[in-house]
Amino acid sequence: MSLVAGRPWEAEIAMDRRLLVLLGTRKGAFILEGDASRRDGADAWRLRGPLCEGWPINHVCQDPATGTLYAGGGSPWFGAAVWRSEDLGQTWTHSSAGLTYGDAGPKMRSVWHLTPAHGVLYAGVEPAGLFRSEDGGVTWAHVEGLSKHPTREGWVPGNGGLICHTVLAHPADPARMWVGISSVGCFATDDGGVTWEARNHGVRADFLPDPYPETGQCVHKMTLAPGRPDRLYQQNHCGTYRSDDAGRTWICLDEGLPSTFGFPIVAHPTDPDTVFTIPLNGAEQGRYVPGASMAVWRTTDAGATWRDLREGLPQDHAYLGVLREGMAADDLDPFGLYLGTSTGQVFASADEGRSWRRIADLLPPVLSVETALVGA
């Protein structure tokens, strides 16, 4: 664990309520800082970064229980690590102690996702596996049960690698979790990670001879529905899905969407029937928004119908995509939505996705977006 010296911007920490949009990018973490009014205007958002020494950062998040910021990624030279900041991103430490498969195992390449839950910090990594830290990311232990799954020998990487990119914790029961691995699928544990079950029934793998294998599905992202933790939504390489039985069976929600391919999926903060996704034109068609015209798609009836939300988003020659961690909601009312693009723009909506405005541009490709509400 090491300390990185403070940055010259040395921002003062105001005591009013501020909204942080936490960005992981190909060239470091960034923080967009605004006030809770989410007002418009050129001076509404202040950008800080690049943080974490410009490492590729796949995910930045805040532990709401402690206020600590975490960033996960990997340097081509110096390996995988989890970065930590206790002063809202002004100074950072980093550690990878215990973040290893050992001398005989594969080399750790990168940290892809961080989930703080029930006093534990979980890290999904590449090559795919799950690690846990009980001391805020200083030291790590391998959750071996997932790696010992009988299908492990057959796991194959997707385009982004063999990555554990989603870790969902049951809101009330620490023993229950779900993970998403590309291109392997969804797994769940009901015993705190000792044993895991593949839960992919009903999810297509159109790129395999058997389109409904036990594992091999290319899950891109999953999210839990609020207030209904046995309901999950999934954006997959091959469709959009909902499960109402904790992932045991999945229902395809593709009808009404412009494509079956996309990455992010974000749940409404309180309504289990509302979810947002950003379809792209297809896996082999360039992976940008259909017709180069950008839209966020929303269902308010659990996927029975969809509508596109376009106001303020670029509608012509928008050859961009949004990656799996690239969209997030805030905790305000009405809630806001934020998305970061593969071409370095950040768009924000203060009205639950109905209208959008660009709040940052010319950033490196955005890999993740999260929010944190801080201050009195």
Partner 1 sequence: MATVVLPRSLSALFPLAQRQVAVTGGTVRELVDGLDTRWPGMRDRLCDPGPVLREFINVYVDGEPADIATVVTDRSVVHVLPAVAGG
State the residues that interact with partner 1 by CB under 8 A.
Answer: 1-5, 53, 76-79, 81, 94-97, 100-103, 105, 107-108
Residue 100: exposed, middle, or buried by beta-carbon count in 10 A (0-12, 13-18, 19+)? middle
Quote the CA–CA distance of 117 and 178 in Å, as a whole number. Answer: 12
Nearer to partner 1, 75 or 293 (CB): 75
Nearer to partner 1, 3 or 172 (CB): 3
Nearer to partner 1, 3 or 362 (CB): 3
Nearer to partner 1, 215 or 342 (CB): 342
Nearer to partner 1, 79 or 192 (CB): 79
Quote the CA–CA distance of 376 and 357 in Å, as a whole number. Answer: 27
Residue whose tokens read 């050129």: 42
Q: How far is the CB of 96 from partner 1 (least distance, A)?
A: 5
Distance in Å from the first CA to the final CA of the chain: 30
Q: How far is the CB of 181 from partner 1 (least distance, A)?
A: 22
Residue 3: exposed, middle, or buried by beta-carbon count in 10 A (0-12, 13-18, 19+)? exposed
Nearer to partner 1, 102 or 209 (CB): 102
Nearer to partner 1, 34 or 89 (CB): 89
Picking from 169, 176, 207, the residue whose alpha carbon sits closest to that of residue 191 is: 176
Question: What is the DSSP code string of 272-335?
Answer: TT-EEEEEES-TTTTSS-GGG---EEEESSTTS--EEE-BTS--SS------TB-EEE-SSSS-
Q: How far is the CB of 75 from partner 1 (least distance, A)?
A: 8
Q: In terms of C-beta distances under 8 Å and separation of at least 24 residues, what long-range contacts does 95-99 make, across chains too?
A: 95/1, 95/2, 95/137, 95/138, 95/139, 95/140, 96/140, 97/1, 97/138, 97/139, 97/140, 98/131, 98/133, 98/139, 98/140, 98/141, 98/142, 99/123, 99/125, 99/131, 99/140
Nearer to partner 1, 1 or 44 (CB): 1
Joined tokens for residue 328: 């997030």
Q: How far is the CB of 81 from partner 1 (least distance, A)?
A: 8
Q: How far is the CB of 365 from partner 1 (least distance, A)?
A: 11
Nearer to partner 1, 193 or 365 (CB): 365
Quote the CA–CA distance of 140 and 173 in Å, as a whole number. Answer: 22
277: amino acid identity, one letter:
T
Q: How far is the CB of 355 from partner 1 (least distance, A)?
A: 36
Q: How far is the CB of 97 from partner 1 (least distance, A)?
A: 7
> Phi-psi region for residue 241, left (φ > 0), alpha (ψ -120 to 50) or beta?
beta
Q: How far is the CB of 184 from partner 1 (least distance, A)?
A: 23
Q: How far is the CB of 95 from partner 1 (least distance, A)?
A: 6
288 neighbors 349 (Cβ within 8 angstroms): no
Nearer to partner 1, 109 or 118 (CB): 109
Q: How far is the CB of 103 from partner 1 (least distance, A)?
A: 5
